[in-house]
Amino acid sequence: MFPGPLGLALAGRALQNGTWSLEALNIRDFADDRHRTVDDTPAGGGAGMVMRADILAKAIDRVADDRPQLLMSPRGRPLTQARVRALADGPGAVLVCGRFEGIDQRVIDSRALEEVSIGDYILSGGEAAAQVVLDAVIRLLPGVMGNASSGDEESFENGLLEHPHYTRPAEFEGIAIPAILTSGDHARIAAWRREQAEQLTQERRPDLFAAYTPPKRVKKSKPGA
């Protein structure tokens, strides 16, 4: 499953030239029986199976160092762009991908795993979530994106969703590009994009907008004032 899509396009080229690297460990390799068993029935009864603390701990300890240790978990704190940027600026991370009903709480506590969620839904396992985290981080590494400023005005970077985008043709099915975007007035374009982003965020993500602090608009002094 790894690198999967991360071996293609910009992330794939960055992997080939050594901008980032990946070591995938199969947790079953740390099992101690001939069936390579990594799970058992939940204590107290209930549906599903639970990953064993002793087996998973051995896998984590093989690669543990000073890097953050993240557990992909639907009960974790939501992944944010700020956390992604912190990871991109850091020394890398150990990503733990759970399966089955969950993993033994004792390994979460003893290894101080940081539980991270990519959304309010359930996946079959943590692998797809780990790829989301990796993709979000890798694209921010220096040299991965062709234009380093490409990520500066994206959704969540400034507390807002991103403004609408347009490109050629000038007219599509009777709808023209907003005239302000072809005006050449960069200050007015920037203000329009900010207004559009604010409006979209207020409509679609009122939770984000409630925490948003608009930038202070400095008024120019009149001549002689």
Query: Which domains occur in the chain, in start order?
Result: 4-138 (3.40.1280.10), 153-210 (1.10.1270.20)
> Does residue 146 register a pLDDT over 90?
no
Nearest to 93 by CA among 110, 79, 105, 104: 79
3-state secondary structure of 176: strand
Paired sense of beta strands 94-97 and 69-78, if any: parallel
C-alpha 115/C-alpha 96 separation (Å) is 9
Verdict on whether the full-model pTM lies above 0.85:
yes
CB 147 within 8 A of CB 138: no
Q: Helices (H) and strands (E) in the chain — how many of each?
A: 7, 8
Q: 40-80: per-residue pLDDT in tens?
A: 999 999 999 999 999 999 999 999 999 999 999 999 999 99
3-state secondary structure of 64: coil
The model's confidence at residue 97, banded by pLDDT at 50, 70 and 90, is very high
Nearest to 27 by CA among 60, 73, 50: 60
Residue 176's beta-bridge partner residues?
Answer: 171
> Does residue 127 register a pLDDT over 80?
yes
> Does residue 219 register a pLDDT over 90?
no
Nearest to 141 by CA among 95, 97, 92: 92
* Length of the chain as a residue count: 225
Tokens representing 65?
């160092």
